[in-house]
Structure 1
Amino acid sequence: MGQAMPTEADDIPHAHPSVPREEPPSPPPPAGDLSRLRLYAYLSAPERRTYLAIMRLFTSTLLADLGAGEVAAALVEAERRGEIDPGEAAPDTVVDRLEQLARWGNLLPGRREPAATIAEFTRSRVRYQVAKLAMRVQREVDEMLDVAEGAREVSRELLPAIEEGLAAIRRTLGEVLTAERGPAPTVSRTLRERLAQQVTTLFLQHDEFAAAVRDFYAYLGSVIARYDLDPAETSGFKHMLLEYVELIVKDVLRHSAPITAHLTALNRQRASLLDLLGGGPGDLTPRATRAGQTELLERAPGRREADWDGLTDWFVGRPGRPSEVDGLREATSRAITALLTNVKRITGAGGVDPGRRRDLLTLARWFDASSPEQAHDLYAAAFGLFSSRHLGLAGEDDTPAPDLSWREGPRVPVEVNLRTRAERPPAGRVPRVSDDPLGRAALLAEAARREQRHAAAVGELAAAAHDLAGARLSGPALELLCELLALAGDGRDGPAEQGAAGDPVSGLTLTLLPRPQGHVTRVGSVLGTLELHGVDVRLDVTAAIR
């Protein structure tokens, strides 16, 4: 009998007439499609060890193109080492696993291999390639399995690098725009390449820093939620929080102002920047293919509007949406509060709060090592679930009858202090007042910061006293001005009278002078312009300056 050999033309597989022709793979789903979650299905399947070994085989090399025979030969070694279950390296089993991965979308079936017999041809001689998104899923899985469970170190040196990168992008962008108007196209091409390199480096640095910060604070949140920390663990946690976290927050706050200034300047030239980088407002760039379809390309970082919006939102807040820097400061404040609460609890109560985490873990180990009969006894002893011995029902009403004598009535328990000394307060030593040095230091530091902010606001008002309309007051300065305006307005009996109010700390005095209708006094600030109708504002800064 002759051999049935499949033919190949233009990489399109042709089957034997008796074998149904394979359908081409469906196009990839659009971005945001929940059907992509099927790519994670092999991680929770009962045969996940085999699927992981197959996916690692496909993702270990570039342009992997493997058939069932090659995969089975590689799985034989994994089965010998005990990495997969026995029998999973059989050829028929490997074919089933590959077909299932193809149905989930992790593998893409390609051309067929030449078959020596009809049996080989009907037993799926298809070669497979790994899908792009499946490659990314497997890479993230391997990273997650290898990552340590402790705190992740934050690369603080990336913040000055981000600041310098934004400054370099501004300089290069200006040079490119100048060269575009010149007669030398070679210089413009070189500057474009430098600009693309700087943008890519900037976004890679920011992605690494943001991911490290999120991982570190996720670990921080898991630690501060525990109530069974002993003094040694609390001391180590205090060192990490008060020293390491403080360094991170200080670095972020120190570099946020120049980074915000650079981002504000670049956002005004964002359209020109994206045009030079070849990006546009869309997320993906379409490109016509030979078959008339559309191939979706994933842009490099920094080539989309959304990339720059995300970078800006990390450092600059908007109304109703605080920045990540503000969230970082708030998370640090909550962590310090939780630490002070734990320290106060340990120093005040004389020991650790009776959290049962360790006890429950010990009990779980006992259950794991016990037999079923011992587990039942252990469960009853641990939780007091013994058989019921009190069969009598309680009375509906335990209150004594009105005609019952007190001699014959039920006895009422009386405390020892009240029965012997006729005193209700409990006897014993008065509990000591716990000293909280960390809380006192935190309160003093917060008071010092408030005084510094108040002094800065007074100095800003003193500098802008002669031209409030042309000033650009900050938020704290405008808040202090509004407080003085409210006090001065409250001291007036009518619109035609004069009012005054002063700051008792700095000596700054604000006076409201009545003016005819139609007169408007304007005060400029970063939050907008404050308009006062019918009054004039005078600031006496003599005492404040002195």
Structure 2
Amino acid sequence: MFGGRMKVVAYLNHDKALFYRVVLDVLLDEESRLGIHLSTKEVAQRVREALSVEPELLAQLPSVDALLEDLYRWGNVDRIHNTRRITTPEEYLQRDFLYQLTSAGARVHREMTRIDQDMADAGALQSSMLPEILTSLATLVRALRSGEEDLEAALGAFRTTTNGFARLSEDAKLFVQSLNGSLASEEIRDPETFIAYKNVVVRYLRSFTVVLHQNSPLIAKLITQAERARLLSRLPELAALETAPVLGLSHEEAVDREVERMRERWNGLRRWFVPATERSPVAELLLDRASDAINFIILTVGHINDQRFRRASRTADLVALAGWFDRFDREGSVRESTALWRTAFGNYSARHLGHPAAPEAGTDLQPEISWWHSDPAPVSAELRARGPRAETGPLPRIRNPRRAKSLLAARQQQEHATVEAAERSLAARGPIRLSELGQLNSSEAEIFLACLSLALSVRQSTGGIRRARTPDGRLLVTLGIAPTERTGAGVGLRGGRLSTKDFQLTLSLNGRGRR
């Protein structure tokens, strides 16, 4: 074993590992049915039945005899010579065997099967396990306080607590790993599926966090009470009740090993719910992870909605921009690439001092040229010695807003007077057909159009009359059918002429309304 190779796991690295595992599945299934042996023919038949759903694998199936021979050589299976139903020397010389799994082979294959199931299992945050752990802990505390006659009840409660906690811990680990894998995806290919997944996960996490927040303090309190009832010192008594004998170990050594295992499981339960000086409880870390997952999911959904409802796609813009940069890079257009960078991101280069050169030089000192590639710009001696100076004048006077307010009030008063005059002018005309209105000034036209639009927006009564009141309550608008043969009317406005159906318009002025 040390320095060498464990032959019992050799089939895992073989190119025929799939077929070896199918053979072991058949033998393990027979063992679970309380069977003892299977002949070579029976093993081959069941292997073919298992592979019948995969015709391609069935066509590649090697000799089952050779597979069993390799497994026997590696120590995964044991065999005896099959002497049943042998009637001739030829049948005896065929060397038919009965196969069964060895103890080591069965344990290795069971563990590999469990690993496969764990990889396919998403895990679960079983909130129902927390009340069960709480109940079993309360039973354990009562049994420890009652005396020696309840040691069996205490042992049963201890195992119920630790076994339930082991399932909770393992499922929580698998769920967190699955959640991390789901949230770590850089690209969400189906937003609708992710949003549906978000709704389920958020409800699931919130329900678990509520139960965990409610039960964690109670579980921590019961753990402390159990330790005060001398649980750790009485673990040897509990372990001695049902410790199974182990070959090569005395009863005391087997009990000591069981006590150590029980103490490790209890310490694991304690780390979950009881805080320590150097660390926080695992339950708090799980609550933080659930809260982070909820916040991340909500943030991701916000990004999805931003992409779905925003007219311009940022991703498409950035991809197009990256394509332009790539094209300029392949063409060697450094100047165009720099100009695109400045325009797209506004990261312009530093502006250096420039100066027009002498006419005979033929070139000017451009400010965008680096200092490393240009001649120094001439600076006057006065600027070098004194620097720029700005003459400071008197502070500006603060304007008085009274005049501006009075002008604004006068303008508003004049506008109100103009509007009121236009309202009185239209109301004084009484019931009038639109074709008889003639030319309207700008104020009258504005009021006329507003009243006409307001009246046409309401439902007409049985007589074909529409009534509406302006929002300020000053005008009651009545619009009816004009008793005339004309079907159309024209109203002169400042910007042109309005053609519409000929109606009879009545504006009633109400002095109580306020503008």
Q: Taking structure 2 as the reference length, what is the TM-score of the superposition?
A: 0.50
Which protein has the larger Cα radius of gyration, Structure 1 or Structure 2? 2
Which structure shows the bigger proportion of residues in helix conformation? 2
| TM-score normalised by L of structure 1 | 0.47
